């Protein structure tokens, strides 16, 4: 049984941002504490409240893009969860949200959390399962009477999917110093709006963004719980697993420049049709990836002028490619690029390729990985092809991931689902890990 619940119609109107854009961060002290009755009840309550935010009622998928109204509503939800539990709420210089139990400046903190934004028509679990489970695991620790000896924090990293501006993990990359302020300011959405403009409209200060080494220095360990985006745990019949690694992966924009012309009067031999070069490149990508045991997907395309009776002048295709190692990935992308250029020669189409996002291979900290596996009684340890904020942070702090079984393996789709028992098993596992890391 999936867990997605329904809440009465969402709030109308633009949810005012919940903070002024303070350069370093804004801290609000704990409001009245009031944990829900049981962990399961708190999980369902949070899930029910979050579920309708940013849901496309036609497709039932989610469109929670960075710095939009849906994003603001998710942020309001996160702040409410923090304050309901009497946690110290912070927004950092990059707009990431933090909920602290204990002194945020004490250091050696155990941090958990994930993201709330989505891909276009994404599922309900990718990101939100990690954030909801983090609050529920904290409720569980409190119900057990556990006493953390280290600060605990829950984080919502902004713009993990990069659905609007094209770059994955913007919030965590900025914080980890893997994206400069200037690079972030260059990002544009499909309407040409820049990241700074979008942030300003949402009430955030784009000039405050940048690396946050002081914040990273406070973190002793970061553990992200995430729905598995694959079927490995379904195949081994395990509810929970621990991540070993993340495949290297990236996004490349292919621009196919042809010549606009009349669809009904231009002879075939006179055409310079970029759609043809694009189509052949898509076929080449599948073939090259299959042969190399890698992955390659053209999932996004734009056509100019996009008229049914006009030969296109420009086709833009975005390639997502991933492989078990960086050498294979580079080889596959190189072969796809060469295939595009060769076909472009034949078609009279000029091809230009731009790398828009890249994440090197991530090997999670072995000691933390093994500690989690031990705390959880030897659950499976598995790699993933999906990128995560934990992957970005792993370059700066000891990082680990927990996966929750995805019975179909489907993700980045409205059909993404997870079993109620498995979600609660994930909460219990995360509580076990947080207690093991923060209470001894
Ligand atoms: O695209 C990914 O791998 C992740 O879901 N952001
Ligand atoms: Mn995702
Ligand atoms: Mn995710």
Residues with Cβ within 8 Å of 221's Cβ and at least 6 positions away in sequence, in order, are 110, 111, 368, 397, 398, 399, 400, 437
What are residue 227's DSSP bridge partners? 404
How far, in Å, CA of 344 to CA of 351, rounded?
6
259 in the same domain as 184 = no
Contact between residue 232 and residue 241 where contact means Cβ atoms under 8 Å apart: yes
> Which ligand does the CA of 227 lie closest to?
3
Q: Do residues 145 and 159 share a domain?
A: yes
Closest ligand 1 atom, CA of 169?
A: 6
| Residue 235 shares a structural domain with residue 254 | no
Same domain, yes or no, for 242 and 173?
yes
- Structural domain count of the chain: 2
Residue 168 CA: nearest ligand 1 atom is 6
For the CA of 162, the nearest atom of ligand 1:
6
Gap between the Cα atoms of 301 and 279, Å rounded: 11
Range of the domain at 19: 3-247+361-438
Q: Is the pLDDT of residue 314 over 50?
A: yes
The verdict on 67 and 173 lying in the same domain is yes
Number of C-beta neighbours around residue 272 at 10 A: 21
**Last-in-domain residue among 306, 337, 359:** 359
Average pLDDT over residues 233-243: 97
- Answer yes or no: do 379 and 322 share one domain: no
* Domain end (from 359, 394, 412): 359
Reported as a pLDDT band with limits 50, 70 and 90, residue 440 is confident
Closest listed ligand to the CA of 128: 3
Rg of the chain taking only CA atoms, in angstroms? 23
3-state secondary structure of 122: strand
- Which whole-number Å values give the CA distances from 247 to 67, 84, 122, 302, 383, in the listed order? 28, 38, 21, 27, 7
Ligand 1 centroid distance, CA of 431 (Å): 25
Q: How many angstroms separate the alpha carbon of residue 386 from the centre of ligand 1?
A: 5
Do residue 372 and residue 350 come from a single domain?
no
**Residue 336, φ and ψ in degrees, nearest 5:** -65, -40
Dist. CA 153–CA 151, nearest whole Å: 7
Task: Among 328, 359, 390, identify where a domain stops.
Answer: 359
Question: What are the tens digits of pLDDT across the range 156-196?
Answer: 999 999 999 999 999 999 999 999 999 999 999 999 999 99
Stretch (H or E) spanning 355: strand 350-359
Q: What is the pLDDT of residues 385-432, one digit of tens each?
A: 999 999 999 999 999 999 999 999 999 999 999 999 999 999 999 999
- What is the model's pLDDT at position 4? 40
List all residues 6 or more positions away from 409 whose beta carbon is below 8 Å from its beta carbon: 228, 229, 230, 231, 234
User: 250 CA to middle of ligand 1, Å?
Assistant: 10
Structure tokens at 202: 């949402």
Lining residues, ligand 1, CB within 6 Å:
160-161, 168, 386-387
Based on the fold, state whether residues 195 and 72 are members of the same structural domain. yes
Same domain, 369 and 351: no
Instruction: State the closest ligand 1 atom to the C-alpha of 320, by its place in the atom list counted from 1.
Output: 1
| pLDDT at 38 (0 to 100) | 80
Q: Which of 171, 228, 229, 247 to mutate to test the pocket of ligand 1 (most atoms within 8 A of CB)?
A: 229
Work out the mean pLDDT of the chain and round it to a whole number.
Answer: 92
pTM of the entire predicted model: 0.90
What is the distance between the alpha carbons of residues 42 and 37, in angstroms, rounded to a whole number? 7
**CA–centroid distance, residue 7 to ligand 1 (Å):** 27
The answer to whether the beta carbons of residues 225 and 129 sit under 8 Å apart is yes
Annotated binding site for allantoate: 251, 309, 322
Both 268 and 216 in a single domain?
no
Residue 304: enclosing H or E segment and its boundaries? strand 295-304
412 C-alpha to ligand 1 centroid (Å): 8
Probe residue for ligand 1, chosen from 120, 121, 164, 168 as the CB with the greatest number of ligand atoms within 8 Å? 168
For residue 1, report the distance from its CA to the centre of ligand 1, in Å: 25
- Averaged pLDDT for residues 193-202: 98
């Amino acid at each position: 049984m999936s867990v997605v619940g329904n809440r009465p119609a969402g709030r109308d109107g633009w949810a005012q941002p919940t903070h002024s854009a303070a350069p370093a961060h804004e801290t609000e002290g704990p409001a009245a504490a009031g944990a829900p009755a049981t962990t399961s009840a708190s999980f369902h309550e949070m899930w029910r409240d979050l579920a309708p935010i940013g849901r496309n009622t036609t497709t039932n998928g989610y469109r929670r893009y960075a710095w939009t109204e849906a994003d603001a509503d998710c942020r309001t939800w996160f702040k409410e969860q923090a304050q309901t539990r009497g946690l110290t709420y912070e927004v950092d210089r990059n707009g990431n949200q933090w909920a602290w139990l204990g002194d945020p400046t004490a250091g050696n903190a155990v941090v958990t959390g994930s993201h709330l934004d989505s891909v276009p028509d994404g599922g309900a679990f990718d990101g939100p399962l990690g954030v909801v489970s983090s609050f529920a695991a904290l409720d569980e620790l409190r119900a057990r009477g556990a006493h953390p000896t280290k600060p605990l924090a829950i984080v919502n990293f902004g713009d993990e999917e990069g659905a609007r501006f094209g770059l994955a993990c913007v919030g965590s990359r900025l914080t980890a110093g893997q994206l400069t302020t200037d690079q972030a300011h260059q990002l544009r959405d499909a309407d040409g709006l820049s990241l700074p403009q979008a942030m300003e409209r949402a009430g955030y200060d784009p000039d405050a963004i940048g690396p946050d080494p002081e914040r990273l220095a406070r973190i002793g360990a970061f553990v992200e719980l995430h729905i598995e985006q694959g079927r490995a745990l379904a195949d081994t019949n395990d509810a929970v697993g621990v991540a070993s690694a993340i495949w290297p992966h990236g996004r490349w924009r292919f621009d196919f420049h042809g010549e606009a012309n009349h669809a009904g009067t231009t002879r075939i031999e006179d055409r310079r049709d970029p759609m043809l070069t694009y189509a052949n490149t898509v076929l080449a990508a599948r073939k090259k990836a299959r042969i190399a045991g890698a992955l390659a997907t053209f999932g996004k395309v734009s056509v100019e002028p996009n008229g049914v009776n006009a030969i296109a002048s420009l086709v833009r295709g975005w390639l997502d490619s991933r492989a078990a190692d960086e050498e294979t990935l580079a080889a596959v992308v190189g072969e796809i690029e060469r295939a595009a250029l060769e076909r472009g020669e034949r078609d009279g189409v000029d091809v230009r390729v731009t790398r828009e996002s890249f994440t090197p291979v991530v090997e999670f900290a072995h000691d933390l990985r093994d500690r989690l596996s031990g705390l959880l009684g030897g659950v499976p340890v598995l790699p993933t092809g999906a990128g995560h904020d934990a992957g970005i942070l792993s370059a700066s702090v000891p990082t680990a991931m927990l996966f929750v079984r995805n019975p179909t393996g489907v993700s980045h789709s409205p059909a993404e689902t997870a079993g109620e028992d498995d979600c609660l098993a994930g909460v219990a596992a995360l509580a076990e890990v947080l207690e093991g890391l923060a209470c001894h």
